[in-house]
Structure 1
Amino acid sequence: MAPGALLELLWLASPALPVGGFSYSEALEAAVEAGLVTHEAQARDWLLDQLQLSLARADLAVVAAAHAAWEAGDEQRIRALNDWVQLTRESSELRQQSEQMGRSMLEWLRNQSEAADDPRLTLLGQLKPPTWPVAWALGAVRGGAALEPALLAHAFGWAENLVQAALKAVPLGQSAGQRILAALARDIPAAVAHALSLDDARRQAFTPMLAILSARHEAQYSRLFRS
């Protein structure tokens, strides 16, 4: 990759990107409350399962499809992918997370000085509202990232955010968090390969326990995270 494209991709994947990803645990906090995640090994296994069963089969597959659609200027495909994300979120708070982060990504892209005349941003703004995987894919395309590196970066950014959530919610120490992140990093290439193998018929968002815990989290009495 060209140095500029690599730096753009690292920027997009950073938890410091001002889109609010740090404020979500994606039901991990509810799993802690339910006694399902109480120590490092359980947190590691929970996130590894989520990577393979949720992220790889849904969001990463959408990012891959949206990356191609943005490159091709396929408006119909972009709208269909955005609709799919909205329709398949399994709880209210998971849908709100995707929509809030998608809107924030749109605003961040609009604030880039070279973005003013990009018609793709106009299309993204017309989606009601844009969702996170679709909006993030546009950021990767605009930065010149190839497909596979973009998916690896997206997955690692997700992993960093969720490990930070585990540190706060379980709670865990920094060394435990680094061991969990190392385990996720080892599995991310296989998750990306799986996402790239999925067509529309095989892409799916079906994680019942995650959905139940997310729904419980919406009414959880004491919580740190928005989801």
Structure 2
Amino acid sequence: MNPLHSSLLALQQADSFFPGGAVAWSWGLETLVADGRLGATSAVALARRQRGVPRDRSAQVNGFVEGQLRHRWATFDRVFLSAAWHAADSLQALSTLDARIEALTLAEELRQGSRRLGQSLLGVHVAMGTSGAEAYQQCIASGAAAGHLAVVQGLLWQRLGMDLDHCQLAAAHGLCTGLVSAAVRLGVMGHLDAQRILTDIQPLLLELLAQPVPDLEDASGFTPMAEIAVMRHESQELRLFAN
């Protein structure tokens, strides 16, 4: 495929306008905000709040996004996306990858979110007629696969003809935009702050993508604060997001 065509596909798939369902998920951010755990705690910040100066929490959102990228996406989701991209022609291999994600994701809320997002994305591509989408949807419906997001991304985007590098870039950028979008809707920061974070996070994203994809046996994620927040989310009285 023409590299420019692959780039164009990546832009389309990573666009927040694409109806993949990511807008419904905050990955623990909503609970952290509700608990007051997303904010500066320094003496300077406390003095600013006492004077009535609005708290700028964009630095904390930046840290949250960085943590999700560095300690979850790059070491876990990226691994399975890459493996699914290479195994896109084998339903058995894809379902095996799905099962590994299911076993390695301890928090039920994270498993559920990943499955629902993956199946939502798959449904869009079934409607669009993407090669391989309907067959894997039937595999999920039969109970043979879970439909986790990273596996579905690898399958669909390989079938569309996207380069693996562009698949990884689209997935990582989509995660970042989803998180900062959640922060904006939660009233933590404004749209310009969100764009600054997306700009500031680019060197880290490029650094992570320049590193070799970890082996499947080494796939791991460690974001304990976010995982605890996701597990506690259902106890919140008012909820805007699914997790």
Kindly report which structure 2 residues correspond to 1:98-109, keeping only aligned pairs within 5 A, or say none: 98-109=114-125
Contact kept, 8 Å, 1:82 with 1:134, in 2: the verdict is yes
Structure 2 residue 217 is matched with structure 1 residue 201: yes
Structure 2 residue 70 is matched with structure 1 residue 52: yes
TM-score, with normalisation over the residues of structure 1? Answer: 0.89
Q: Secondary structure at the match of 1:141?
A: helix
RMSD: 1.8
Distance 1:124 1:199 in 2: 27
Kindly report which structure 2 residues correspond to 1:133-172, keeping only aligned pairs within 5 A, or say none: 133-172=150-189
Contact kept, 8 Å, 1:66 with 1:138, in 2: the verdict is yes
Contact kept, 8 Å, 1:58 with 1:204, in 2: the verdict is yes
Tell me which of 64, 67, 86 is aligned to 2:102. 86
Shift of 1:64: 1.0
Contact kept, 8 Å, 2:126 with 2:133, in 1: the verdict is no
Contact kept, 8 Å, 1:36 with 1:42, in 2: the verdict is no
Q: Secondary structure at the match of 2:86?
A: helix
Query: Any idea what the Cα deviations from partners look like across 1:132-183, whole Å, max 9, x if unmatched?
Result: 1111112211221111121011101111111101112252011111111112
Tell me which of 37, 59, 73 is aligned to 1:41. 59
Give, as a single letter, the amino acid of the residue that structure 1 aligns with 2:15.
S
Kindly report which structure 2 residues correspond to 1:110-149, keeping only aligned pairs within 5 A, or say none: 110-113=126-129, 115=130, 118-119=131-132, 121-127=134-140, 128-149=145-166
Give, as a single letter, the amino acid of the residue that structure 1 aligns with 2:75.
R
TM-score, with normalisation over the residues of structure 2? Answer: 0.84
Contact kept, 8 Å, 1:37 with 1:170, in 2: the verdict is no
Contact kept, 8 Å, 2:123 with 2:137, in 1: the verdict is no
Structure 2 residue 12 is matched with structure 1 residue 11: yes
Q: Which residue of 1 aligns with 2:233?
A: 217
Larger radius of gyration: 2
Shift of 1:92: 2.3
Contact kept, 8 Å, 1:78 with 1:134, in 2: the verdict is yes
Shift of 1:65: 1.1
Distance 1:2 1:62 in 2: 23
Contact kept, 8 Å, 2:6 with 2:166, in 1: the verdict is no
- Size of the aligned set, in residue pairs, is 221
Contact kept, 8 Å, 2:99 with 2:146, in 1: the verdict is no
Distance 2:115 2:100 in 1: 13
Give, as a single letter, the amino acid of the residue that structure 2 aligns with 1:177.
A
Structure 2 residue 76 is matched with structure 1 residue 75: no
Distance 1:151 1:7 in 2: 14
- After superposition, the Cα gap between the structure-2 partners of 1:223 and 1:10, relative to the gap in structure 1 and judged at 3 Å, is same
- After superposition, the Cα gap between the structure-2 partners of 1:87 and 1:193, relative to the gap in structure 1 and judged at 3 Å, is farther
Shift of 1:43: 1.0
Shift of 1:206: 3.2
Structure 2, unpaired ranges of 5+ = 40-56
Distance 2:3 2:164 in 1: 14
Q: Out of 51-60 and 118-127, give the one that drifted further.
A: 118-127
Shift of 1:124: 4.7
Distance 2:38 2:187 in 1: 7
Give, as a single letter, the amino acid of the residue that structure 2 aligns with 1:188.
L
Contact kept, 8 Å, 1:9 with 1:143, in 2: the verdict is no
Identical positions, percent = 28
Structure 1, unpaired ranges of 5+ = none
